Amino acid sequence: MTFSKLKLPSMLALLVLSSFGYGQTARFGVEECMAYAIENEANSINATLDEEIAALSVKETIGIGLPQISGSVNVQHNPDLPRFFSQYDPNSGFGITQEQAQSLGIQQGDVFGAQNFFQLQSNGDMNLSVNQLIFNGSYIVGLQAAKTYKKLAAKQKDYTQSEIKAAVAKAYFNVLINDERLKLYESNIDRLQKLYEETEALNENGFVEKIEVDRLKVTLNNANTQRNNYENLADLSMKLLKFQMNYPLDKPLELEGSISDFVDGEVQNIPQEYDLANRSDYQTMITNKEFQELNLKNMYAGGLPVIQAFGTFGANTQSTSFGGLFKQESSFSGNSQVGPDRWFSYSAIGLRLNWSLFTGLQRNYQIQQQKVEIKKLENSLSQFETQVRIEVEQQGILLKNANENLAIQKENMELAQNIFNISEIKYKEGVGSSLEIVNADNELKQAQTNFFNALFDAVIAKIDLTRAIGARD
């Protein structure tokens, strides 16, 4: 079992949650913990939402190329219409007659303002406009960019979830190690407690001195204090795991198995062969480069013409009153040139071409800047490839060293345990002292501490190497 692939269906975590209402305690293995985290951890949820936003963004971009239809209705009344201004010329006959000019004293060349005889005080208009994009280079590139954006969001989600899985796996094994450490320490205390009680009985019967009892009592008290520390550490490690999973801190959670079940299978050397394509962070960088290349392509496309087809279909009317807009007040039949005060239709269809022929060289310099940005990304990719190679080698060395140290510390713990057992036998047979017991116990506790520290280091090194090579199975 490795830490980079989620084998358990995500619905299992939800099914387990439903059991809480019945007072049942959830039992999770490492895969279940990771599945729960993927479903519930905030960053994982946000990454999934980002992917959903990207998918919707693709559909939004596609919609730009579909027909754009809009309609409007407008009715209004103008209590005071704007006047028309003109310069009086008795020969033009525009605006006022010669009789009116003479009566008002208007001379040739005078400027006058006449009432608006082209428009009635109330008017109405309703229309429907249709625009259809025929060609736009930026739109074509935008479709490609939108799909790349969706791909980028998916890669970022993969990376986020792989980081979450690694964090959950580390926290999970930390809990198992602390539980195992606590169990082993409790067995040490039970053994010391029994030895202390036996020594106390021997002292009461005059077979050993009081100092022997006191020395064991001090050792036992220290052991009980250390056990309390380990209990707090185990509780804290469980809370940390729940936090990494976004699991309710007040809900009980039991972990399946023990650290001994994973030592042989998990803390072994793994092949250091890797494929950059398997690393989600590398894939994110590649996709981001594709995105920037499309941005450059879009800048070039901005120099191409944009062609649109359009059509406007509507109707309008006018009246001397606002109410007249909603009824026909004239009764004559009319002809094709003149008609009564009803709504008359109008329409317009055509093509529109927009072309930015010169933009002050702005586009040219924007293109040059984008090319430099792409070069920077290429440099980052090259550096990242070297970084991964070094990282894999480094993590491989760390795992090898951790395994070697684990083997040594395991042997030391077994030796320390053997030394303690012999010291205990000697003490019970009267050929050893409590001081020898105390020293052996201290050495055993130190050996156990070193073993569990080495075990944790080995598990972490295994997880980090798995992440470094981008393992997927």
Provide the mean pLDDT of the chain. Answer: 87
Distance CA 131, CA 67 (A): 6
Say which range, 13-22, 61-70, 176-185, 232-241, has the weakest mean pLDDT.
13-22
pTM for this one? 0.76
Distance CA 379, CA 360 (A): 31
Distance CA 49, CA 390 (A): 34
pLDDT of residue 94: 67
Instruction: Quick: pLDDT tens for 73-132.
Output: 999 999 988 888 888 888 876 677 888 888 888 888 888 888 887 888 999 999 999 999
pLDDT of residue 21: 45
Distance CA 247, CA 253 (A): 9
By the 8 A CB rule, do 137 and 301 touch?
yes
pLDDT of residue 239: 96
Residues contacting 345, CB < 8 A, separation 6+: 313, 314, 315
CATH of domain 11-40+138-299+361-469: 1.20.1600.10
Instruction: Quick: pLDDT tens for 392-424.
Output: 999 989 998 998 999 999 999 999 999 999 998
**Residue 9: is its pLDDT beyond 70?**
no
* Overall average pLDDT of the 310-330 stretch: 89
**Residue 23: is its pLDDT beyond 60?**
no
Instruction: Quick: pLDDT tens for 34-85.
Output: 999 999 999 999 999 999 999 999 999 999 899 999 999 999 999 988 888 8
Which residues of the chain form CATH 1.20.1600.10? Answer: 11-40+138-299+361-469
pLDDT of residue 473: 43
